[in-house]
C-alpha cells in the first residue's frame, strides 16, 4: 500500500511541478504535512543532498524521499512516479505538436507557463532560505529574537554571496562553492 501511495503522490508532483526540480518543493512541503513521511527539517537535508549529488534535483528528491519512506523499492517507485507524467506528456506533445506548431493558443500556453515556472522556483527558493535561516520553534519556546536567526547559516550565505561576485572567484565552477559550504557545515556541526 505504501508503494502505491508513494507512486500516486509523486505522480501528482510530476504532473503539476512545471519548471524543474526546485518547482517540486512546494509539493514536497505539502506531502510532508499531509503524509508525515518526513519533517520540514528532513526536507532541508534532502534538498542539500539532492543539490550536492549528480543528476536532476527533482529525481534525487523523489529517490531520497522514497528511500527514506520505504527503502530501496520505495526510492524506485517514487522516482518512477515522478517521471511517468513527463514521459506521457512528452509522448503526447511530440505526437501533436507537429500539427499545432504554429497555433497561437499553443504558443500562448507555453508563454504563460514561463511565469508560473518562475513563481514555483522562486517560492521554493524562498522556502529553503526561510527554513535554513530562521527557527520559529526557538522563538516560540524562548522568546529570544537573537536565537531566532541562524547566525552561522546567515554568515555563510553572506560570505558565499560576496565571494561569488568577486572577480577572483567568478570563474570557479559552482562545485567549489558547494564543497566549501559542505566543509563549513561539517565544521559547524562538530563545533557544537
Whether 184 is covered by a domain: the verdict is yes
User: What integer pLDDT is reported at residue 11 of this predicted model?
Assistant: 92
Phi and psi, residue 61, nearest 5°: -65, -45
- Do 165 and 93 sit in the same domain of this protein? no
CB neighbours of residue 4 within 10 Å: 10
Look up the domain containing 21 and give its range.
2-102
Buried (b) or exposed (e) across 55-82, using 16+ Cβ within 10 A? Answer: eebbbbbbbbbbbbbbeeebbbbbbbbb
Last residue of a domain, one of 74, 102, 130: 102
19 and 96 co-located in one domain = yes
User: How confident is the prediction for the chain on average, in pLDDT?
Assistant: 81
6, exposed or middle or buried, with CB in 10 Å at 0-12, 13-18, 19+?
buried
Query: Domain for residue 118, yes or no?
Result: no
Give the span between the Cα atoms of 133 and 184, in whole angstroms.
15
Residue carrying C-alpha cell 518512477: 80
Q: Which of 18-32, 70-84, 172-186: highest mean pLDDT?
A: 70-84
Determine, yes or no, domain membership for 82.
Answer: yes
The answer on 25 and 87 residing in a single domain is yes
pLDDT of residue 4: 92
**Res 145 pLDDT > 80:** no
**23 plus 85 within the same structural domain:** yes
Name residues whose C-beta falls within 8 Å of residue 71's C-beta, 6 or more positions apart in sequence. Answer: none
User: What pLDDT sits at residue 162?
Assistant: 86
Assess contact for 111 and 126: CB atoms under 8 A. Answer: no
Task: Flag whether 131 is in a domain.
Answer: no
Q: Is the pLDDT of residue 53 over 80?
A: no
Q: Alpha carbon of 33 to those of 26, 175, 182: distances in Å?
A: 11, 32, 28
**Alpha-carbon distance 43 to 39, whole Å?**
6
Angle CA(126)–CA(129)–CA(133) in degrees, nearest 5? 145
pLDDT, residue 46, reads 80
> By percentage, how much of the chain surpasses pLDDT 70?
90
Tell whether 11 and 69 lie within a shared domain.
yes
Asked whether residue 112 is domain-assigned, the answer is: no
Please report, to the nearest 10 degrees, the dihedral formed by the alpha carbons of residues 133, 139, 145, 146 taken in order: -50
Look at residues 48, 76, 102 and tell me which one is the last residue of a structural domain: 102
Number of domains the chain contains:
2
Task: Measure the CA–CA gap between 46 and 40, rounded to whole angstroms.
Answer: 10
pLDDT in tens, 156-180: 888 888 888 888 887 888 888 888 8
For the record, the C-alpha cell of 140 comes out as 516560540
Quickly count: other Cβ atoms within 10 Å of residue 93's Cβ. Answer: 12
pTM over 0.75: no
Residue 123 lies in a domain: no
For the chain, what percent of residues have pLDDT higher than 90?
10
Q: What is the pLDDT of residue 144?
A: 63
pLDDT at 7 over 90: yes
Above 70 in pLDDT, residue 136?
Answer: no
Amino acid at each position: 500500500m505504501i508503494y502505491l501511495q508513494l507512486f500516486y503522490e509523486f505522480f501528482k508532483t510530476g504532473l503539476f511541478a512545471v519548471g524543474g526540480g526546485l518547482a517540486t518543493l512546494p509539493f514536497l512541503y505539502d506531502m510532508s504535512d499531509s503524509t508525515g513521511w518526513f519533517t520540514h527539517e528532513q526536507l532541508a537535508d534532502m534538498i542539500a543532498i539532492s543539490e550536492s549529488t549528480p543528476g536532476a534535483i527533482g529525481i534525487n528528491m523523489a529517490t531520497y524521499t522514497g528511500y527514506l519512506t520505504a527503502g530501496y523499492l520505495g526510492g524506485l517507485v517514487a522516482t518512477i512516479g515522478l517521471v511517468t507524467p513527463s514521459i506521457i506528456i512528452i509522448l503526447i506533445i511530440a505526437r501533436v505538436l507537429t500539427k499545432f506548431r504554429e497555433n497561437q493558443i499553443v504558443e500562448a500556453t507555453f508563454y504563460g507557463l514561463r511565469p508560473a515556472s518562475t513563481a514555483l522556483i522562486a517560492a521554493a527558493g524562498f522556502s529553503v532560505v526561510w527554513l535554513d535561516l530562521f527557527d520559529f520553534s526557538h522563538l516560540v519556546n524562548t522568546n529570544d529574537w537573537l536565537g531566532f536567526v541562524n547566525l552561522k547559516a546567515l554568515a555563510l550565505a553572506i560570505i558565499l554571496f560576496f565571494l561569488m561576485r568577486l572577480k577572483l572567484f567568478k570563474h570557479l565552477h559552482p562545485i567549489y562553492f558547494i564543497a566549501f559550504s559542505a566543509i563549513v557545515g561539517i565544521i559547524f556541526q562538530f563545533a557544537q
